[in-house]
Structure 1
Amino acid sequence: MSIFSWMDPDVPPRHQSVLRYALERWEVERGEQAYAVFPGGGQWSFAEMGRQARLVATGLAQLGVARGDRVMSWLPNGPDALRVWFGINWLGAVYAPINLAYRGSILRNAVEIAEPKLIICHSSLVSRLDEADIDPALPALLIDQPKVDPKGARSLLGGDYLDAGIDAALLRLEEPIEPWDEQAIIYTSGTTGPSKGVLSSYCHGATAALVAFEEKSCADLRYLVTLPLFHAGGTIGTIGTLLLGHSIALPEQFETGRFWDVVRETRSTCCTLLGAMAGFLNKQASAPGERDHGLQWAYVLPHGQTATDFSARFGVATRTMFNMTELAVPILSREDQADAESCGRARAGVTLRIADAQDREVASGEVGELLVRADRPWSTSHGYAGNAEATAAVWRNGWFHTGDLFRRSADGDYYFVDRAKDSIRRRGENISSYEVERECLSFGAVREAAAYAVASEFGEDEVMVALSSNPGASIDPVALVDHLRVRMPYYMVPRYIRILDDLPKTPTAKILKTELRAEGRTADVWDREANGIILKRDRINGSR
């Protein structure tokens, strides 16, 4: 018998994977216990969460939304975003959340991918639909406006549609929702091209969520949602707590200065932090009682020294994993893992291969692309919406190609090296942009770092970094080079340093290296060699 449900290679039963049936279960078993807690006051029990889902589902059904239809949600984290998501899935419709920052061609691409029946949004965002030349036949429901005065070609609907009452007859399903049915479309970050819409089944989302949370399940678990509900990092924790009968705390967004206050106020016991978030918290000034908070553990992605420092300072146990929107946590760290740089080991139920360009496995210790297969049907994405070519490319030869370079130790630990498209080659040496960025971030004044290749006069790459500084700090390029030259091989130390107020980012806050590369060596770039700092290989005296 499997220790955890996700270890079973069979598709999970409906009540362990499908949102509607999981919520119905906990309405009965834990009706008045809190499911969602909102900073600033207010909470929903499992029973109230079910009522809110039925209200939204009834309104959508009255508007003609049916099972299998796609509905876009364009809302900030909070009660409305949560009830809209659950209401969409209650009908068996498909939840397609999009980033609040989307506009222009990025917004148009997202809408064209999803082909939604309806978009539910805040009234402050609706004008962007017309600005992006999105078909006026797509109706928009303005959730913050109970009633609207329709103007123009687009049909605008008021939020009162979602609060008019529950009609049980409209919510009956002819056939049950199945674990393999489509639950959501979650968009990729678009760091190397237009965002793709990842098709996710209920089984896919449930598997990822239970891998991440089932082992840590305990009576008082409350997950603080630090990432948006349009991001896989936000949805996985929300799904996991629901399936396990636990609760979430749902602030509108992560705020460094308010983080610990929110933890205390909501009595959160766990969360997920991007490495940059943990880094921001580490760089805050020390304060009395900073270990008096109640947060027991956190996933930190990626891990490394930042997570080690976070754990030591704040008394929070940290773990890590490797995941992608398309996958279900194929690599998971161990409780007793001593190596902070390891992403962990392959979990039960997946087969991993580190391969060369022809998908042939490389030896332990060598770098190659990470490929993934899963035993459980429907536990990975079943494709990209409207993009059969990209689906075929990423699944070639029966393996999912992550596009990430890894190496595996003889003991089975997996180490992230770089995105395949971000690797740098200088003077015959392959350089990990990730490792360059990590060491730049260890310099106290640096807040953000992006390392990338620019063309050299010799036909290969030179290493360039774009940096932003911490508030009140300034970055001295010479001091930074002195800091780096004792921490990395000479050939990795950046030649070019560019300092910006903020680095360009995708709508999901990932740094846009494509934009930085395209800009190349701008007039504001500092050139190490032009400033007389030329680094060479150390000569080893007495070598033969």
Structure 2
Amino acid sequence: MGRIETIATRPAADVPMAGGQLTLPALLKARAARNGAAPLFSDRHTHWSGNDAADIAARRAGSLAAHGVKRGDRVALLCTNRTEFMEIVLGCGWLGAIVVPINTASRGLQLEHILRNSGARLMVAEAHLVDAVYAAHAPDLALKQVWLIGGDASQPAVPATIEAIALPPLGHACEAAPLADGDALAILYTSGTSGLSKGVICPHAQFFWWAHYTGAKLGVVAGDVLYTCLPLFHTNALNSFFQALTLDAQLVADRRFSASGFFDALVATRATVTYVLGAMVPILLGRGAAEAERAHRVRIALAPGVPGHFQEDFTARCGIALLDGYGSTETNFAIGGGIEDQRPGFMGKLSPGFEARVVDDCDRPVPDGEPGELILRADEPFAFASGYFGMPEKTVEAWRNLWFHTGDRVVREADGYYRFVDRLKDAIRRRGENISSFEVEQVLLSHPAIETAAVFAVQSSLAEDEVMAAIVLRETHALAPLDLIRYCEPRLPYFAVPRYLDFVTDLPKTENGKIQKYKLRDAGVTPTAWDLEASGYRLGRK
């Protein structure tokens, strides 16, 4: 019999519940009234208090309105982590417009698709990034104006149909739009690792609930300094601003992740809480120990997707507890608990306020211990995204049967802990067996010579998949392909041992560090790949 898990609870008594109180303007006003003088946001060059943020939101909204932006209009944003990024987010939220943050690595057809799908008529872009916009511009796009950050309009590549001007100064403050909690604040496009990006419609209240649930699990309190070097155009970093806003903390957003400078930045900013992704932890551990690793004040890091065998090593070496869990752009922090609930290799238990099922292809629950797709629902209105912008058929598909289908294969154990197995699209079918690329990757990553690896399917002549791994070795390390195969043999089923190994210097990644497996799959078996079958070595089937 399958398990349908529900853990429902009402929010804490101090959570505002009346409609419209969970919108960005309401949260900014509340912070200014409650703790306006305390620091709220910094990009390490410019610093805002809560009072500053409310004023900047009203005045940037004024400048947007003066240039014809209205409630419901989409404003594209192509910008790294800097105060201008948050100016546009706050201004759009105050005005009732919808901000469309775009991955700064977007180019060509992907960028054209985002602009076409969103229908944005205005883009705000850093000058060094805007050439990609001009190159992708097609005559049928709605885009008519570009505001340049850090540059002027004297660039010769500007298409004739676009007016390019320098970022206008803050305008006259305007009144906040009368918004509902379910009104859209942002459209966040997925990374596009398996096809065209989908624009996730994120309502105002979703960001509040992100802050509420994430802040509680991290133990964020007034006066904390939150440090992120993850890009603000993704949910992880953007919702950390709302943690600071609603919990009277400060967010410091750095431009990018630097392995050599990460701990120095923690020290310099006096951070107490930080945010990392799975790939960052082994990279940091791969460097020589430095004094700054113990000179910081950070007590905890949100660290989804860190391989279990790295968690204890990182905490022992750096003194930072790692908090795993599960959430996505479409959902919220639905699975995971406090640091005392962590179990290496598991995402955690279902959080109060959510429902979960693990289901088969027909949405029927599977028994505990068996893998299936994770589907979710939230108790609170607008705690999840509202759908995919301009893609009604994709919205219906993902939210079918009134549950959000995550596309992630997981296992729920009998004690309530959830374990991630794979993305459904990353599953590999070989020799009549389903193979988890994630599980193969964990074995590869446990080898001391390997820094990172990606496992994916390539086409076989037998109308099934073959397993291929692209591998980046640690500096100064060498590894013979056959030695790695022998390492895998006792740790994997014979059918999951990779046939092809490709030792590379780097893997294609999105701006926030996700490996773009579709690029590896498209490349297929490369000329540099080593072939197990061609080597003549025969795997033992134990």
Pairing 1:144–2:150 present: yes
| Secondary structure class of the residue paired with 1:468 | strand
2:41 touches 2:241 (CA, 8 Å); kept in 1? Answer: no
For 1:480 and 1:311, the matched residues in 2 are separated by 28
Distance in 2 (alpha carbons) for counterparts of 1:388 and 1:3: 31
Corresponding residue for 2:61? Answer: 57
Q: Which residue of 2 aligns with 1:259?
A: 262
Shift of 1:128: 2.4
Q: Deviations over 1:103-145 (max 9, x none)?
A: 2111100101111131001122223223113337521011223
Whether the 8 Å contact between 2:267 and 2:292 is mirrored in structure 1 is no
Deviation string 1:67-88 (CA, Å, 9 cap, x unpaired) is: 2111111111011112121112
| 8 Å Cα contact 2:120/2:143 also seen in 1 | no
Cross-structure match for 1:300: 303
Structure 2 residue aligned with 1:191: 193
Structure 1 residues 503 and 302: alpha-carbon distance in aligned structure 2, compared to 1, 3 A threshold: same
Q: What's 2:391 paired with?
A: 387
Amino acid paired to 2:26: Y
2:349 corresponds to which of 341, 345, 352: 345
Aligned AA (1:219):
A
Over 3 Å counting, the alpha-carbon distance change for 1:47 and 1:414 in structure 2 is same
Q: Secondary structure at the match of 1:440?
A: helix
Aligned with 2:166 (options 159, 174, 178)? 159
Partners of 1:107 and 1:455 in 2: how far apart? 29
In structure 1, the partner of 2:4 is none
Task: In structure 2, give the amino acid aligned to 1:520.
Answer: G
1:519 paired residue number = 523
Question: Quick one: distance in 2 between partners of 1:12 and 1:451?
Answer: 48
What secondary structure is seen at the aligned counterpart in 2 of 1:50?
Answer: helix
Q: Does 1:46 align with 2:50?
A: yes
1:34 equivalent in alignment to 2:65: no
Are 2:116 and 2:142, in contact at CA under 8 Å, matched by a contact in 1?
Answer: no
Q: Which structure 2 residues correspond to residues 171-210 of structure 1 after superposition, within 5 A? A: 171-173=174-176, 176-210=178-212
Listed one character per residue, the Cα deviations across residues 374-396 of structure 1 (whole Å, up to 9, x for unaligned) are: 22221111110110111111111
Q: Show the 5 A alignment for 1:371-410.
A: 371-410=375-414
Q: Which residue of 1 aligns with 2:238?
A: 235
More divergent stretch after superposition (319-328 vs 206-215): 206-215
TM-score computed with the length of structure 1 as normaliser: 0.92
Q: Which amino acid counterpart does residue 156 of structure 1 have in structure 2?
A: E
Equivalents in 2 of 1:12, 1:450: separation in Å? 47
1:7-59 alpha-carbon deviations (Å, 9 max, x no partner): 98x966544x21112112222322221111333x5422122222322332111
For each residue in 1:240-299, what CA deviation from the matched residue of structure 2 results, as whole angstroms up to 9, or x when unmatched? 211222110111111111101111111111122111011111111012452221111011
Question: What is the Cα deviation at residue 204 of structure 1?
Answer: 1.5
Q: Aligned partners of 1:232 and 1:136: how far apart in 2? A: 26
Distance 1:136 1:348 in 2: 43
Bigger Cα displacement from structure 2, 370-379 vs 303-312: 303-312
Change (3 A) 1:118 1:455: closer
C-alpha offsets along residues 140-186 of structure 1, whole Å, 9 cap, x if unaligned?
A: 011223676896513434335233x4x24xx125x622211111000
| Alignment correspondent of 1:542 | none
Give the secondary structure class of the aligned counterpart of 1:284: coil
User: Which residue does 2:94 correspond to in 1?
Assistant: 90
The within-5 A match list for 1:92-171 is 92-134=96-138, 135=141, 137-145=143-151, 152-159=159-166, 161-163=168-170, 165=171, 167-168=172-173, 171=174
C-alpha change, 1:299 and 1:481, in structure 2 (3 Å) is: same
Q: Is the Cα contact below 8 Å between 1:6 and 1:207 reproduced in 2?
A: no
Report the counterpart of residue 474 of structure 2 in structure 1: 470
CA distance in 2, matches of 1:87, 1:422: 39
Q: How does 1:363-374 map to 2 (within 5 A)?
A: 363-374=367-378
Letter in 1 for 2:146: A
RMSD: 2.3
Residue number in structure 2 paired with 1:541:
none
- 1:253 & 1:59 partners in 2: Cα distance? 29
Counterpart in the other structure of 2:330:
326
Report the AA paired with residue 151 of structure 2: Q
Which consecutive unaligned segments of at least 5 residues does structure 2 have? 1-7
| Pick aligned residue for 1:217 from 215, 220, 235 | 220
- TM superposition shift of 1:422: 0.9
Residues 424, 28 of structure 1: alpha-carbon distance in 2 compared, 3 angstrom cutoff: same
1:457 CA displacement: 4.6
Deviates more, 1:280-289 or 1:348-357: 280-289
Structure 2 letter corresponding to 1:234: A
Mapped to 1, the partners of 2:237 and 2:143 lie a distance apart of: 30
Partner of 2:29: 24
Further displaced range: 50-59 or 388-397: 50-59
C-alpha contact (below 8 Å) 1:437/1:451 kept by paired residues:
yes
Query: Are 2:241 and 2:251, in contact at CA under 8 Å, matched by a contact in 1?
Result: yes
Give runs of aligned pairs for residues 376-525 of structure 1, distance below 5 A: 376-525=380-529
TM-score (norm 2): 0.92
In 2, the alpha carbon distance for the partners of 1:428 and 1:347 equals: 36
Q: Percent identity?
A: 35
**Structure 1 residues 190 and 98: CA distance shift in structure 2, 3 A:** same
> Using the alignment, how far apart are the partners of 1:288 and 1:160 within structure 2?
41
- Deviating more after overlay: 306-315 vs 197-206: 306-315
Distance in 1 (alpha carbons) for counterparts of 2:312 and 2:163: 50
CA contact (8 A) 1:11 1:203 kept: no
What is the Cα deviation at residue 366 of structure 1?
0.6
Distance 1:497 1:462 in 2: 11
Q: Secondary structure at the match of 2:109?
A: helix
- Match of 1:140, as an amino acid? V
Is contact 1:74–1:121 with CA below 8 Å preserved after alignment?
A: yes
Going from structure 1 to structure 2, the CA distance change for 1:334 and 1:136 (only over 3 Å counts) comes to closer
Q: Indicate conservation of the 8 Å contact 2:77/2:99, yes or no.
A: yes
